[in-house]
Amino acid sequence: MTALDTKRYWEERLTREYSLGGVGWIGLGRAFNRWMYAVRWRVFARMVRDHVPLGSAARVLDIGSGTGFYLEAWQRLGVAALEGSDLTERATAALRVRWPGLAIHNFDAAGTPGSLPTGRYDAISAMDVLFHIVEDEGFQRALGNLAGMLAPGGRLVLSENFLALAPMSAAHQVSRTEADIRHALREAGLEPVAMRPMFVLLNTPVDTRSRLLRLWWSLLTRTAGGSELLGFVAGAALYPLEVALTRLVRRGPSTKIMVCRRAGGS
């Protein structure tokens, strides 16, 4: 799958539905996706507060901003010098309208260094983005690009599935193993600082052999995908439990969030 195909896929997908339902789990509806993103916010905010030093002048870049969820998250965390980006023209145009005071870049994270924003950032977020780079060479190049945009000691916040099991591939997504991702991070000059589960019950259990968890997810998707009302009720009922589980469980069965540090700083 080439970068051009990936761009076309996301242009078409976001043109059909520019919402959290469009950038999130297709088929589960907007209501359930909003609850999933509410969990994402809680876990993201916790990790950033614990592991990303943010001074008053911290410069932050969000990769693959989509509908702007993580731009909002960084602003809620007090970041003023914030910039966004997206691969697609559809999202870039909408983000520039919504945030006229922010620099919103249009580029491919796996592209050539000359196409990337200049300067150094204290933190960069790439949430649910890098596993859509299906070629390993492009994945490694993207990590190198992000490391190159970080100031020494700067933090990269990313989410991946970090599989303990065998890697899994689909047309527009590759779930790589934790060992492979850690190796790629080291090659890019990035050192993992902390990793926690982003979800335990509210995302596809790709990193487990548990039949019970797979049955649970099958039942949940059928329920939440049945209607917006069912999706809202299911999400609202499970949200407090999921937030608690992401604090208690050391390693979840699906997406995880990791904070990395670029070498050369404290």
Distances (CA, A) of 179 to 135, 165, 199, 204, 256: 17, 10, 20, 20, 14
Cα 126 to its chain centre, rounded Å, is 5
Q: Categorize the per-residue pLDDT at 36 as very low, low, confident or very high, splitting at 50, 70 and 90.
A: very high
Q: Categorize the per-residue pLDDT at 27 as very low, low, confident or very high, splitting at 50, 70 and 90.
A: confident
Give 191's strand partners.
Answer: 261
> Which residues neighbour 142 within 8 Å (Cβ) at sequence distance 6 or greater?
109, 110, 126, 130, 133
Distances (CA, A) of 12 to 75, 109, 141, 223, 233: 28, 19, 25, 27, 30
Provide, rounded to the nearest whole percent, the portion of the chain with pLDDT above 90. 70
Give pLDDT, residue 22. 57
- With a cut of 60, say whether residue 144 has pLDDT above it: yes
- With a cut of 90, say whether residue 49 has pLDDT above it: yes
User: 14-23, 64-73, 189-198, 199-208: lowest mean pLDDT where?
Assistant: 14-23
Give pLDDT, residue 4. 45
Q: Domains in the chain and their CATH numbers?
A: 3-262 (3.40.50.150)
Q: Which amino acid is at 12?
A: E
Mean pLDDT across 65-86: 95
Selection from 215, 3, 36 nearest residue 107 by Cα: 3
User: 87-91, 114-118, 262-266: lowest mean pLDDT where?
Assistant: 262-266
For 151-210, write each residue's pLDDT tens digit: 999 999 999 999 998 888 877 788 999 999 999 999 999 999 999 999 999 999 999 999
